[in-house]
A and B are shown apart, each in its own frame.
Chain A
Amino acid sequence: MRNTKKKGIYIHIPFCKSKCIYCDFCSVVPVGDITDRYVTALKNEALRYKRTEKIKADTVYFGGGTPSFIGAERLADILSTVKDVFSIDSDAEITAECNPSSCNEEFFIKLKESGFNRISLGLQSTSETERKAIGRLTSASQAKKAVAQALTASFNNISLDLMLGLPNQTKDSLKESIDFCAEAGVTHISAYILKAEEGTPFFDRLRKEGADSLNLPDEDSVCDLYLFAADYLETKGFKQYEISNFAKDGFASRHNLKYWNADEYIGLGASAHSFFEGKRFYNTRNIDDYLTGSEPLYDGNGGDFEEYAMLRLRLTDGIKKDETEQRFGKGNFERILKNAERLNSPDLIIISDTCISLTKQGFLLSNTLIAELLS
């Protein structure tokens, strides 16, 4: 059966002014004319999806890297191609990730004019010591300024990224960061727990110097920070809807929800992942290979119940009986329910006849719990 649901479009911009020490995403500091060649390649890739009857989409998301780093003109240029190839809803959510250091008022106005309506800004923390420890170049005040400029450019849907478990981070410093976000007038906050990914300079340093010398909070403290953040954000009106995501009513990221609902999306650009027409596939991480037009790598069929459950359990909404039956038939929900009852952990799992979801503490153990619930 063909999936007629509207798609999400993801566009990866793999360029940054400098690479953060903890980052393991696909990004480089651009050299020569690589940026323009990349934009051309992106547009060509988009054109491959051109159909007589255009593919319908209701979200577009520019992620990175740092999309803002390549400038508003190029972003607008890419978006116009996307709009040409796909049939984009008039009320589509169109997001650009931005770094405060590479935006100004003019930039935001230009984005707004070209159709963007959501901005996601990397803040990570308002504490200068914490920011320095992970090598962030901008200051918190720059971030604040960027928020103000975006608001002036009449963006009314702005997201800020925070990080949990940063070196030197305490409950107090985290509270300051959250207060800052709440006062800045944004609608959405992502709060990610810092993870040392293999292959990053941060990972190497951690291994060489040890967690103590980096002043990293221990596991228990990180858990406490997470639980504190989740509770405190809610008091500020940011309701948790996913493990790391919080939003004011009606401002949950529609694009990211597609991932967690196991809905389809098309990824364009180096390292971008797609789930389209039942298949999962992704582009090479190697930018040079991408530029020469290397074929996407097939990653198996997607959208089975197990995958759906694994993703849905990241959401506070969890797995609902009626939706599950509609999509996958009877019996699947009961399987999860049986495992949930066996685990008998009300602190971690909320069970009702129609819904199974994880608590905040449960989210912290979600890898284990999801494996258990699917066993």
Chain B
Amino acid sequence: MSKKEFIRNFSIIAHIDHGKSTLADRLLELTNSVALRDMTKQLLDSMDLERERGITIKAHAVRLDYKAQDGNEYILNLIDTPGHVDFNYEVSRSLAACEGAVLIIDATQGIEAQTIANTYLALDHNLELVPVINKIDLPAADPERVAKEVEDVIGLDCSEAPRISAKTGENVQSVLESIVRLIPPPEGDDDKPLKALIFDSYYDSYKGVVVYVRVMEGSIKPGDTMKMMSTGATFTVVETGYMRPTYLQPCSGLSAGEVGYITASIKTVSQASVGDTITLTANPAAEPLAGYRKANPMVFCGIYPADGADYESLKEALEKLRLNDASLHFEPETSGALGFGFRCGFLGLLHLEIIQERLEREYDLDLVSTVPAVIYKIHMSNGEVIEVDNPTHFPDPAEIDFIEEPVASAHIYTPPEYVGSIMELCQNRRGVYIDMVYITPERVDIRYTLPLNEIIYDFFDALKSRTKGYASLDYELSGYQRSKVVKLDVLLNGDVIDALSFIVHEEKAYQRARKIAEKLKDNIPRQMFEIPIQIAIGSKVIARETVKAMRKDVLAKCYGGDITRKKKLLEKQKEGKKRMRQFGSVEVPQEAFMAVLKLDEQ
């Protein structure tokens, strides 16, 4: 077991794209933790998606050995955190496992929304912050201005903050020295009852769930019987060890202050929830560590296989993803239009997109998904209150007294020149202005209360495009408010297409209805008969379009006995039919669903 005074537990926090994963790569290289041949870019972001999008989806942890300039060998436990607001809870648990955090600020961009949000999170956990100014190799870099911004806004002394380029490796060594010098070693008593914080877990088909922990008090070793304090479930410890960048290194046991992993033949990650406390049955802790909560989904949508025959594959894929993602919720659902599928709950829109993409890529599934929705509280005339996250279950308007919708308190950080445009966007999205603070002359913090429904609907993209990508957004759920929302139904040839129904604020109903009708018209191919498209609130049609009947689809010449071409055409036609969804007599291609989902509101 390691001597506590030479251990440093830290994470790296940063706004998206400020270079967190690149810095992590450099630290791994400098500590010779990875053989050069195994070095791939952004090693800790092991999912393809993470590398492509430049985001960290899951937390990762790695133990590095570092011989510092003072001559001592240090153990550095780097706990990488997700960088997106959807995963705030996971971030907070990772931070709770550390004594310090490296705060990266991009020397060309300065402080952004998540810089502040993550800084506050880190300060909430009493972490020692090590500011690092990155990307000094870029021509637009202005490290001194950014340093001053950090001092002014966060009140963090940046006079000695390393100015580095994680990309070129310049001055990265000084980051390691700062970690050793500034971040305090962990405390904790090996002899007290065990309290180990779960900050991540993943499913391994050989070992079962591998639980990443930070031991706060006590110690644990193979053979011990451990207990999850939130559920009382017990398991026998099979293995303990340390996380190396490319493999797991077993050890004889973990004690207070250490970061490592435990395996105990656990079947699913939901049995080892992030934030839970592990103790031993032999000498249990009286109280769990503070801060555990179950992650609740906030955004919902239906996910259906494009080909009904893939239902079982979709089910299996979702189950596999849930093995590693306790915050993914799903239950079977049936749609008249889409057949059998699942109602899925997500932490946020990014989480939703990631799951969809992983299903499509890693499991090779063709999906159709419905418009994302939030949970509405519907107060019925008879006094009953029901929660609805699925437009299909929206009750008859006549029986509704009033409806409440979730709202979020949002911070938007932006250069001042975009304030007007952002306020217009927020106004369009039914935002209520709270205040606006100039954090520096170059940076404004605009605060709005925004309906969550409006945020999940394309808000982030609209914000980025209005501000050339300069604005950043951070939000958290702040409660419910009364709201006049209505359900819009889409009718094709007189039949309601349940999968296209969605809930929208009354004021926007007409505009949205018109757009959807147009989009559908453009995306539904002409068929053998005319197809009326209607958008309705209850029985009142508020928008309509018509797909004219197709008149011509013929191979006029069938020449010289070349029927191969005709056969191919027939096959293609049949194949095309398979990709269509049949609604009564109308066939709707998947693209039409996608188009409705991706209505952009520029």
B555 proximity list for chain A (CB < 8 A):
366-367
Q: In chain B, residues 53-105, which have Cβ atoms closer than 8 Å to a Cβ of chain A?
A: none
A375 at the interface (CB under 8 A from B): yes
* Contact call A223/B556, Cβ cutoff below 8 A: no
CB-nearest residue of chain A to B525? A368
In the assembled complex, the Cα of A211 lies from the Cα of B567 at a distance in Å of 28
A275 proximity list for chain B (CB < 8 A):
561, 563
In the assembled complex, the Cα of A273 lies from the Cα of B561 at a distance in Å of 6
The total of Cβ contacts below 8 Å across the A-B interface reads 106
- B384 CB, nearest partner CB in chain A, Å: 44
A307 proximity list for chain B (CB < 8 A):
563, 567
Contact of B551 among A195, A272, A364, A369 (CB under 8 A): A364
Interface-side segment among B19-27, B129-137, B162-170, B570-578: B570-578
Contact of A10 among B550, B560, B564, B570 (CB under 8 A): B560
* Contact call A299/B564, Cβ cutoff below 8 A: yes
CB-nearest residue of chain A to B571? A371
Given A310-B570, A366-B553, A367-B573: A345 in contact with B528 (beta carbons within 8 A):
yes
Q: In chain A, residues 47-89, which have Cβ atoms closer than 8 Å to a Cβ of chain B?
A: 63
A15 proximity list for chain B (CB < 8 A):
none
The proximity string for A residues 291-333 relative to B, scoring 1 for CB distances below 8 Å and 0 otherwise, is: 0000000010010001100110010000000000000000000
A91 at the interface (CB under 8 A from B): no
A8 proximity list for chain B (CB < 8 A):
561
B550 proximity list for chain A (CB < 8 A):
365, 368
**Which range holds the interface residue count of chain A?**
35 or more
The proximity string for B residues 561-600 relative to A, scoring 1 for CB distances below 8 Å and 0 otherwise, is: 1111011011001100100000000000000000000000
- A150 CB, nearest partner CB in chain B, Å: 22
- The residue among B554, B559, B573, B577 with the most chain A CB atoms within 10 A of its own CB is B554
A343 proximity list for chain B (CB < 8 A):
528
* Contact call B528/A348, Cβ cutoff below 8 A: yes
In the assembled complex, the Cα of A258 lies from the Cα of B558 at a distance in Å of 12
In the assembled complex, the Cα of A369 lies from the Cα of B566 at a distance in Å of 13
* Contact call B573/A371, Cβ cutoff below 8 A: yes
* Contact call A371/B577, Cβ cutoff below 8 A: yes
* Contact call A222/B556, Cβ cutoff below 8 A: no
- A35 CB, nearest partner CB in chain B, Å: 20
* Contact call A314/B560, Cβ cutoff below 8 A: no
B560 proximity list for chain A (CB < 8 A):
10, 12, 25, 63, 267, 271-273
The proximity string for A residues 86-126 relative to B, scoring 1 for CB distances below 8 Å and 0 otherwise, is: 00000000000000000000000000000000000000000
* Contact call B552/A371, Cβ cutoff below 8 A: no
In the assembled complex, the Cα of A375 lies from the Cα of B582 at a distance in Å of 13
The proximity string for B residues 491-524 relative to A, scoring 1 for CB distances below 8 Å and 0 otherwise, is: 0000000000000000000000000000000000
B577 proximity list for chain A (CB < 8 A):
371, 375
In the assembled complex, the Cα of A193 lies from the Cα of B550 at a distance in Å of 16
A371 proximity list for chain B (CB < 8 A):
570, 573-574, 577
In the assembled complex, the Cα of A193 lies from the Cα of B569 at a distance in Å of 17
The proximity string for A residues 235-272 relative to B, scoring 1 for CB distances below 8 Å and 0 otherwise, is: 00000000110000000000000111000010100011
A314 proximity list for chain B (CB < 8 A):
558
In the assembled complex, the Cα of A199 lies from the Cα of B562 at a distance in Å of 18
CB-nearest residue of chain B to A164? B556
* Contact call A259/B558, Cβ cutoff below 8 A: yes
In the assembled complex, the Cα of A339 lies from the Cα of B566 at a distance in Å of 20
* Contact call A265/B561, Cβ cutoff below 8 A: yes
B393 proximity list for chain A (CB < 8 A):
none
5 smallest beta-carbon distances between A and B, as pairs:
A371-B573, A193-B556, A273-B561, A367-B553, A223-B551
Q: What are some 11 contacts across the A-B interface (CB < 8 A)?
A: A10-B560, A63-B560, A219-B551, A244-B557, A259-B558, A310-B563, A310-B566, A364-B551, A367-B555, A367-B573, A374-B570
Q: A299-B564, A306-B570 are in contact. List 10 more A-B contacts (CB 8 A).
A: A223-B552, A243-B554, A274-B561, A348-B528, A361-B551, A365-B551, A366-B553, A367-B555, A371-B574, A374-B570
